[in-house]
Structure 1
């Protein structure tokens, strides 16, 4: 799996589907290896190769279950049925290709399992349609706020449970609500417009209060996965389905599957089976999402990671690292800092700095400063000039960050002024 996958709400894409395709290809290779086990002198490992092929048959069938919003109990049962069917075919024809009699004797049993599971899947399909849907209950409870650590919900109103089948996966709030999130840029506050869905396993409700049937009916129509997440980016939370893609971090959780990828490793869990490479760290205990159903605001918290998205901008926080995006403007703050807006870019980090505005470029690297402006290039080999450029570039990014967070965009007049001041100071080092 490679980083940078892009989730599509209704298409078969993403880490688990790619892994299924890889396992399918690996199964084909193992089948060829097993077929030519004699010339390859692998006959002592005959049974082990068969076990591996059967295991991969079930693995890629289970990983390929449904689409992101189509995972059901019947889908899992049908995947198991397909796994047993292909196993029965493999074992049946394997008796003419050198498979041990002890293994080929299970061909009939595997086929019987496939038939029974297919019948069970057909019966469960109706159950899936009726019972395993996302639904707001017609019961209301008092809401007086909720505390999720760095994220707090303030306000008052009513909270309605959201259930997937019989399991509660979240709440819908009706009333006054304000979300507050602590970030390295300060506290972000947003007043939310009802209705607001909170995908969490925690309880946010108080005593029971009278419900509004009209509100329940309208919200049930709004809780349509395709309407909510079509083309809305890489963070999806429906309580039972969770998808998060961030800077160097990908996380997927379904009822029977969990996938996590970080720069230090990858881990896939299918039921009780865990497959990992490297050390990706511990999966987050909980993923919290707060979302306006009629507007574009969404806040998602996964472990120490926080992502806020509105119709105008998005902010992602990981520890002390902050990334802000709005249109063609991007701001990153952390060990390295950078600002990009159209033909303007400023970056500082790891002993280097670069400022570009229109056709003027000032860069500092390896103790040297290079200036390109007006068709001319100047080089300054002076440690003080180098430190000056690094310092000013960082100040420019931090100064512009306040306006970006407030939605005001880059202050071009102020930026031009700061770059001109820097050029004036650097002229003292030329010649």
Structure 2
């Protein structure tokens, strides 16, 4: 069976590929023009300027319709953009050896860009547009997908999802199971059809489409329905709109706009303009697998992974893991902590603390402090300190397994472990 690889960027027609080549050629020609004196090309100065301007308009016009199809408004805006970049080139070219008569046309080019932009806005108001998420009546064989740490197993049919004219994802009808590797272990869940995939996907040959399924999927993929109850949602993925808000990391991607915010820096892209502050590496794409009927959603951004269900959420960033379910949370990393109501256990960075109801045991800098039954005790002993740190780690590891399985904290077991620890610590009291 032959297999093709479809990417969320969709099918790139030859026209768009030619536009990219022309853009690169224009950049090369611009560099040649800048060094024309050293290259002995002064006599071709005007010809190179004309060629660069022609290439600017060519790649802008050829790029029309990449997202929403070719429209009159799109063509006018492409001409406006071409005129604007031409005005910028002509204006700054005056200080770089451009002929004076051409440099003097910068103002006229800018005026054309403004007029064309206004015309595009006015004409655009009269154009009827239907920019919506649409599941196509086309089906392809689906036999699983491998995304590295995330895998989709099962068989069924994959239907392309388009926004405007651009393919941005797939909806799968079939028996599908998602599997993800995390530091806590393997997460595995059977998903209910239909399942949306906003990311790269391998599909097989074309097969018969189920029009009833397409109609159902189109009604379920509505953004208002998917995120209506999720005000302040930390992860939103609709193929063309991507938002990920994690621990010390934010990622937003819209058509022509991308924002990355990390503790190490920020990166903003608006069209061809890139702004950097510090170091903020691009995550290399965002993958989301979501049940359209239920609340399960798995999102992968670079090395980060987040799983959300109606009962819990798990966020993974390298070796750091944060699990939340109701008022219960588990954090694994440099510091390990477990919290549930009046119960908390934390250990890391040379210290440990256990709190359950009116009992508090803390260990730091070789000293153990105990508060229980309204009384306080202090033990300055290295062995006692190491005992508390070790027991705190064991308690977190023991409780985390059941927490991940959705069983919650076993208070009976936790009370027994704390009592055992208190009994052992009494031997260190004078």
> Distance in 1 between the 2:236 and 2:108 partners?
43
- The answer on whether the counterparts of 1:300 and 1:306 sit within 8 Å (CA) in structure 2 is yes
Deviations 1:185-239 (A, max 9, x none): 1111000000000001x23311111111111112111111121123432111111
Structure 2 partner of 1:287: 286
> Distance in 2 between the 1:363 and 1:323 partners?
23
> Distance in 2 between the 1:111 and 1:343 partners?
67
Q: 1:167 to 1:126 in 2, by over 3 A?
A: farther
Q: Secondary structure at the match of 2:218?
A: helix
Q: Secondary structure at the match of 1:251?
A: strand
Structure 1 partner of 2:248: 248
When the two structures are aligned, how many residues end up with a matched partner? 335
Q: Secondary structure at the match of 1:204?
A: strand
> Distance in 2 between the 1:396 and 1:195 partners?
40
Structure 1 partner of 2:136: 137
Structure 2 partner of 1:235: 235
Q: 1:126 to 1:305 in 2, by over 3 A?
A: farther
Shift of 1:111: 6.4
1:274-353 equivalences under 5 Å are 274-280=274-280, 282-353=281-352
> Distance in 1 between the 2:124 and 2:155 partners?
41
> Distance in 1 between the 2:239 and 2:276 partners?
25
Q: Does 1:362 align with 2:353?
A: no
- The answer on whether the counterparts of 1:159 and 1:204 sit within 8 Å (CA) in structure 2 is no
Shift of 1:362: 0.6
Q: Does 1:123 align with 2:123?
A: yes
Shift of 1:276: 1.5
- The answer on whether the counterparts of 1:162 and 1:172 sit within 8 Å (CA) in structure 2 is yes
Q: 1:416 to 1:247 in 2, by over 3 A?
A: same
Shift of 1:117: 1.3
Shift of 1:106: 8.3
- TM-score by structure 1 length? 0.73
Structure 2 partner of 1:392: 391
Q: Secondary structure at the match of 2:295?
A: coil
Q: 1:286 to 1:128 in 2, by over 3 A?
A: farther
Q: Secondary structure at the match of 1:266?
A: strand
Shift of 1:115: 4.3
> Distance in 2 between the 1:128 and 1:427 partners?
79
> Distance in 2 between the 1:126 and 1:269 partners?
30
> Distance in 2 between the 1:176 and 1:126 partners?
45
1:86-101 equivalences under 5 Å are none
Shift of 1:118: 2.8
- TM-score by structure 2 length? 0.73
> Distance in 1 between the 2:127 and 2:240 partners?
17
Shift of 1:119: 2.6
Q: 1:166 to 1:127 in 2, by over 3 A?
A: farther
CA RMSD of aligned residues (A): 2.5
1:126-205 equivalences under 5 Å are 129-130=129-130, 132-200=131-199, 202-205=200-203
Q: Secondary structure at the match of 2:315?
A: strand
Deviations 1:111-156 (A, max 9, x none): 66444313313434565722x3211111011111111111110111
- The answer on whether the counterparts of 1:367 and 1:386 sit within 8 Å (CA) in structure 2 is yes
> Distance in 1 between the 2:226 and 2:303 partners?
25
> Distance in 2 between the 1:183 and 1:297 partners?
17
- The answer on whether the counterparts of 1:268 and 1:275 sit within 8 Å (CA) in structure 2 is yes
Q: Secondary structure at the match of 2:330?
A: strand
Structure 1 runs (4+) deviating above 6 angstroms are 105-109
> Distance in 1 between the 2:193 and 2:129 partners?
29
> Distance in 2 between the 1:126 and 1:188 partners?
50
Deviations 1:48-78 (A, max 9, x none): xxxxxxxxxxxxxxxxxxxxxxxxx989x6x
> Distance in 1 between the 2:246 and 2:307 partners?
11
